């Protein structure tokens, strides 16, 4: 017997209905904000992801060669692919461009609860607006979208400028190395890296920056940061809209392309793997042959959102089981089609069971049995049987459909 590949999951109908419901809520929020859906290929050229993040990322991806010897990878995230699509297809579109996507991604890492090798992201990219107002819109949209799912979360908002200002004496690759430890909250690794590079004098300001919870504190620690006005404006706009967030200038973000404002969301009821959202401002298009356009976006870890929400009751919709004698099978197909055309789920017995067995089976999967025998076919009627109460009555097809649509039972 074959098992599913490690790090993947099977979803049965109830779980898929829950996932589609939450997905649809998020889509509706994106629609109201003016973000339209795009889609990119499941696999891309490997260089799309190594160009900025380096060869080290390869060990975290599913990489392969096609029959033409081209190096490809299943996408580990969608932002780079979306900006590649912008360069290919969207440079002439009026800006700002508001795009969103819902896509599965693939990463080769150790599976655990909330972390899988195939996972889904709902993402948003705002391309072409380089203002505090644009940053604010994206954060507000992320907040609105998470709230629509029913998940309880904490939103942290920061900016990379103060941290980079503290690390300004370092080469870019050293900055990336230090920020990688900060992103992973690896205190021991950070301390060892600072000692190894003879940078222990940076430990105190980095620790102090991570503890800052007020704007004034940030600039006391980091000094004269050129982006100060932009940072203060963004936070003032968020405050003006009563967005519930926590200033957090210890956010480093793991991907290399973030340039300014960054933010993360954390589910309150999850353990160590509690981050459900991450985003910020970035510049990627110029790496792919496009203009140096400012962008801002985020991705929501859909799977972790679903784990955080847990199981919940689905809205019940009536199900009709059509039961018939052999001579009524053609009429059964017509009746089932009439219910379906009215928007009601209808199932016809396909096993050629006897009438009693058909009713017994319908009682396991349906609310109402629609019984068709010789009398009903000749009279042009149906017999409705409430499979919960046992009550039954004969009606015209139109009246039967109306009853089920109104009450779910007869």
pLDDT tens track for 114-136: 789 999 999 999 999 999 999 99
The dihedral through the CA atoms of 173, 222, 238, 310 has a sign that is positive
Q: How many domains does the chain have?
A: 2
Domain of residue 244, CATH code: 3.30.930.10
Pairing verdict, β 295-301 and 392-396: unpaired
Pairing verdict, β 392-396 and 381-386: antiparallel
Asked which of 309, 329, 351 is the last residue of a domain, the reply is 309
Give the pTM: 0.91
How much is the average pLDDT of 396-402? 96
Q: Does 220 lie in the same domain as 74?
A: yes
Query: 199 in a domain, yes or no?
Result: yes
Residues 60-70 as b or e (16 or more Cβ within 10 Å = b): ebbbeeeeeee
Query: 5 in a domain, yes or no?
Result: no
pLDDT of residue 408: 65
Task: State the DSSP H helix or E strand holding residue 56, giving kind and residue range, or none if neither.
Answer: none
Query: 112 in a domain, yes or no?
Result: yes
Q: Does 398 lie in the same domain as 289?
A: no
Is the confidence at residue 189, as pLDDT, over 90?
Answer: no
CB 246 within 8 A of CB 154: yes
Q: Does 97 lie in the same domain as 241?
A: yes
Q: C-alpha angle with apex 249: 97 to 234, nearest 5 degrees?
A: 40
pLDDT band at 140 (very low <50, low <70, confident <90, very high): very high
391 DSSP assignment: -
Distance CA 126, CA 283 (A): 11
Query: 85 in a domain, yes or no?
Result: yes
Distance CA 195, CA 139 (A): 36
Lateral strand order in the sheet of 392-396:
345-348, 319-324, 368-372, 381-386, 392-396
pLDDT of residue 222: 83
Q: Does 185 lie in the same domain as 137?
A: yes
Q: Does 159 lie in the same domain as 287?
A: yes
Binding-site annotation: residue ranges for L-histidine: 77-79, 107, 121, 125, 253, 257-258
Q: Does 287 lie in the same domain as 367?
A: no
Is the confidence at residue 308, as pLDDT, over 70?
Answer: yes
Query: 3 in a domain, yes or no?
Result: no
CB 52 within 8 A of CB 284: yes
Q: Does 205 lie in the same domain as 337?
A: no
What does pLDDT average to over the chain? 92
Q: Does 203 lie in the same domain as 280?
A: yes
pLDDT of residue 256: 67
Asked which of 278, 309, 340 is the last residue of a domain, the reply is 309
Binding-site annotation: residue ranges: 77-79, 107, 121, 125, 253, 257-258
Is the confidence at residue 113, as pLDDT, over 90?
Answer: no
Asked which of 309, 342, 364 is the last residue of a domain, the reply is 309
* Domain coverage including residue 228: 13-309
Q: Which residue has the higher pLDDT, 331 or 284?
A: 331
Is the confidence at residue 94, as pLDDT, over 60?
Answer: yes
Query: 4 in a domain, yes or no?
Result: no
Query: 6 in a domain, yes or no?
Result: no
pLDDT of residue 144: 98
Is the confidence at residue 375, as pLDDT, over 70?
Answer: yes
pLDDT band at 75 (very low <50, low <70, confident <90, very high): very high
How much is the average pLDDT of 46-64? 87
Is the confidence at residue 200, as pLDDT, over 90?
Answer: no
């Amino acid at each position: 017997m074959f098992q599913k590949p490690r790090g993947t999951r099977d979803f049965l109908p109830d779980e898929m209905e829950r996932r589609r419901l939450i997905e649809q809520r998020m889509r509706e929020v994106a629609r109201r904000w003016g973000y339209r859906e795009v889609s990119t290929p499941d696999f891309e050229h490997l260089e799309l992801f190594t160009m900025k993040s380096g060869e080290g990322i390869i060990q975290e991806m599913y990489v392969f060669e096609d029959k033409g010897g081209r190096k490809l990878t299943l996408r580990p995230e969608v932002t780079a692919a979306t900006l590649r699509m912008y360069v290919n297809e969207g440079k002439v579109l009026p800006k700002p461009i508001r795009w969103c996507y819902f896509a599965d991604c693939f990463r080769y890492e150790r599976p655990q609860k909330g972390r899988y090798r195939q996972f889904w992201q709902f993402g948003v990219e705002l391309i072409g607006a380089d203002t505090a107002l644009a940053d604010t819109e994206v954060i507000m949209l992320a907040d609105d979208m998470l709230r629509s799912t029913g998940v309880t979360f904490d939103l942290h908002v920061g900016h990379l400028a103060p941290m980079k200002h503290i690390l300004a004496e370092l080469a870019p690759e050293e900055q990336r190395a230090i920020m990688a430890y900060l992103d992973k909250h690896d205190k021991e690794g950070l301390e060892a890296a600072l000692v190894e590079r003879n940078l222990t004098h940076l430990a105190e300001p980095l620790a102090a920056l991570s503890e800052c919870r007020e704007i004034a504190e940030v600039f006391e620690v980091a000094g004269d940061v050129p982006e100060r006005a932009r940072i203060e404006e963004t936070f003032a706009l968020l405050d003006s809209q009563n967005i519930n967030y926590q200033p957090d200038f210890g956010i480093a973000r793991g991907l290399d392309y973030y340039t300014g404002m960054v933010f993360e969301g954390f589910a309150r009821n999850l353990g160590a793997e509690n981050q459900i959202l991450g985003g910020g401002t970035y510049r990627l298009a110029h790496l792919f042959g496009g203009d140096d356009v400012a962008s801002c976006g985020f991705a929501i870890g859909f799977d972790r959102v679903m784990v955080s929400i847990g199981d919940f009751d689905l809205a019940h919709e009536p199900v009709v089981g059509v039961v018939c004698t052999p001579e009524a099978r053609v009429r059964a197909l017509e009746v089932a089609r009439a219910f379906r055309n009215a928007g009601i789920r209808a199932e016809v017995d396909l096993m050629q069971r006897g009438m009693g067995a058909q009713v017994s089976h319908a009682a396991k999967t349906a609310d109402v049995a629609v019984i068709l025998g010789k009398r009903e076919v000749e009279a042009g009627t149906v017999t409705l049987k409430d499979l919960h109460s046992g009550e039954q009555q004969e009606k015209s097809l139109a009246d039967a459909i109306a009853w089920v649509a109104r009450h779910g039972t007869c």
